[in-house]
Amino acid sequence: MGEKQDRRRKYFYLFFACIIITPVLLSGCFRFYEELITRTDFEQAADWTSQGNFQEAANKYEQIAALHPRVGDEVHFQMGMIYVSPQNQNKDYKKAMECFQKVVSNYPESRYRRDSELLISLINEISTRDNKVNTQRRQIDSLEQKIEEIEKKLVLMKEVDMNLKQKKKTFP
């Protein structure tokens, strides 16, 4: 009788283990399936990016995210890369930062998380330096205006000096 209970207990544990493992395996399979069916969409967006059609690529990524939220980490990462691309004439560091922050906060186990964190720190550094450059440009513009004003005053002073020299010559 004890042998029969041991066998039932073994089957119960096996059954319980299968119940626990099945959702884990299925979630991995669903992720794989999502990646498989979205691969052509990702390739199309990548082609548009390489051709310089960044707006179309961003729109495609947004469509992918709306239809397949399980691959949102890759979508947001790629969109962030579009917004910081050196070839993109309409760079937008703010939008890129938002995309990378979504990857970090919404997908903590993503393979894009570490790269997103690195890019966030680089964008912060770029923004800080851009602010310094803009401040220095304003200072340069202000100094150039002061120089122009001083040059105008100098020209006027030279004219006054010339006039005084001529008056001295005429009135000994």
For 49-98, how does the pLDDT look when each residue is reduced to its tens digit (9 = 90+)? 999 999 999 999 999 888 888 888 999 999 999 999 989 998 899 999 99
Judge whether 105 lies within some domain.
yes
Q: How many domains does the chain have?
A: 1
Q: What is the pLDDT of residue 26?
A: 46
Positions in the chain whose pLDDT score sits under 50: 24-26, 28-29
Judge whether 110 lies within some domain.
yes
Rg of the chain over all Cα atoms, to the nearest angstrom: 34
Question: Are 88 and 54 in contact, with CB atoms under 8 Å apart?
Answer: yes
Q: Which range of residues forms the domain containing residue 53?
A: 2-147
CATH number for the domain that contains residue 32: 1.25.40.10
Q: What is the pLDDT of residue 6?
A: 64
Judge whether 18 lies within some domain.
yes
Q: What is the pLDDT of residue 25?
A: 45
Judge whether 126 lies within some domain.
yes
Judge whether 155 lies within some domain.
no
CA distance 13 to 4: 14
Judge whether 106 lies within some domain.
yes
Give the chain's end-to-end CA distance (angstroms, integer).
Answer: 141
Q: What is the pLDDT of residue 115?
A: 95
